Structure 1
Amino acid sequence: MDNKKIIHYKFVLLGDSNTGKTSICMRYVNKRFEQIFQSTIGCSFMGKVIEVNDKKYSLDIWDTAGQERYRALLPMYYRSADIALICIDLTTNEYNEEIEYWKKELGKYCDKINRKIFIVGTKSDMITPNEYESFKKNIETYYPQFKFFITSSKENVGINEIFEFGVQKCIDATKITNIKKDKEILDIVINNGDENYWGVLEYCNIL
Structure 2
Amino acid sequence: MRVVLAEDSVLLREGLIRLIEEAGCQVVAAVGDGPSLVTAVAEHAPDVSVVDIRMPPTHTDEGLRAAVEIRRRAPGAKILVLSQYVEVTYAGDLFADRAGGVGYLLKDRVVDVDELTDALRRVAAGGTVLDPQVVSELFAARRDPLATLTPREREVLGLMAQGCTNTAICRRLVVSEGAVEKHIGNIFGKLGLPPSDSDHRRVMAVLTYLRL
TM bucket normalised to smaller? 0.3 to 0.5
TM-score between the two structures when normalised by the length of structure 2: 0.41
TM-score between the two structures when normalised by the length of structure 1: 0.42
Larger Rg: 1
Larger relative helix fraction: 2
Asked which structure has the greater RCO (Cα within 8 Å, sep 6+), the reply is 1
